[in-house]
Amino acid sequence: MDRSVLTWLLIGAAGFCLLPWYTLEDGFWGFEWIAGGYPFDTDYAPGLFLLLQGEKPWLWPLVPLLMAPLATWGRSKNDAAFRTVLTLGGGIGFGWLLAQGFAIGIRGWQFETLTAAFGDLGDRQFGMGYGAILVALSLLFAFTHGLAARGAVNGDVFVVSAIGFVVALIGIFIFYPISQILVSAVQDDTGGWAVPLFFQKMADRKIWGLDCIAGRISCGVAWNSLFLAILVGALTTLLGLVFALAATRTGLKWTRALKALTVLPIITPPFVIGLSIILLFGLSGTVTTAVADLLGVQPTRWVYGLPGVLIAQTLSFTPIAFLVLIGVVEGVSPSLEEAAQTLRADRWRTFRTVSLPLMRPGLANAFLLGFIESMADFGNPLVLGGNYDVLSTEIFFAIVGAQNDQGRAAVLAIVLLVFTLAAFWAQQRWLGRKSYATLTGKGDAGLHPILPNRLRWLVFAVAGAWGLFTLVIYGMIVYGSFVEVWGLNNSLTFKHYVTAFSVGVNEHGIHWSGSAWDSFWTTVQIAAISAPLTAAVGLVTAYLLVRQRFAGKRVFEFGTMLSFAIPGTVIGVSYILAFNVPPFELTGTGAILVLSFVFRNMPVGVRAGVAAMAQLDQSLDEASLTLRANTWRTFRRVILPLLRPAILAALVFSFVRAMTAISAVIFLVSAEYDMATSYIIGRVENNDYGLAIAYSTVLILVMLSAVALLQLLVSERRLGRRTPTGGEAAMVRGG
CA–CA separation, 53 vs 310, rounded Å?
A: 63
Q: Is 389 helix (H, G, I), strand (E, B) or coil?
A: coil
C-alpha atoms less than 13 angstroms from C-alpha of 610 in its C-beta half-sphere: 28
Task: Tell me the C-alpha to C-alpha distance, in Å, between residue 49 and each of 17, 70, 130, 287, 356.
Answer: 7, 22, 14, 70, 64
pLDDT tens-digit readout, 542-585:
888 888 888 888 888 878 877 766 777 778 878 888 888 888 88
Using CB atoms within 10 A of its CB, is residue 115 exposed (0-12), middle (13-18) or buried (19+)?
middle
Q: Which of 54-68, 177-191, 196-210, 328-342 has the lowest mean pLDDT?
A: 328-342
pLDDT tens-digit readout, 385-444:
888 888 888 887 887 766 677 778 888 888 887 887 788 777 767 765 554 444 444 445
Task: Tell me the C-alpha to C-alpha distance, in Å, between residue 495 and each of 477, 485, 492, 530, 675.
Answer: 16, 11, 9, 33, 22
Q: What is the pLDDT of residue 143?
A: 95
Phi, psi dihedral angles at 187 (to 5 degrees): -125, 155
In the chain, CATH 1.10.3720.10 sits at: 207-488+719-734
662 confidence band (pLDDT: 50, 70, 90): confident
pLDDT at 66 over 90: yes
Task: Tell me the C-alpha to C-alpha distance, in Å, between residue 15 and each of 8, 19, 132, 577, 614.
Answer: 11, 5, 7, 27, 40
* Rama region for 122: left / alpha / beta (φ>0; ψ in -120 to 50; rest): left
Q: What is the pLDDT of residue 230?
A: 93
Task: Tell me the C-alpha to C-alpha distance, in Å, between residue 499 and each of 510, 666, 691.
Answer: 16, 23, 8
The DSSP string of 164-197 is HHHHHHHIIIIIHHHHHHHGGGGB-TTS-B-HHH
Packing angle of the helix pair 255-263, 306-331 (nearest 10 deg): 140
pTM here?
Answer: 0.76
| Single-letter code of the amino acid located at 27 | G
pLDDT tens-digit readout, 122-180:
777 788 888 999 999 999 999 999 999 888 888 888 889 999 999 999 999 988 988 88
Q: In this structure, which topology does domain 207-488+719-734 adopt according to CATH?
A: MetI-like fold (1.10.3720)
Q: How many CB atoms lie within 10 A of CB 285?
A: 19
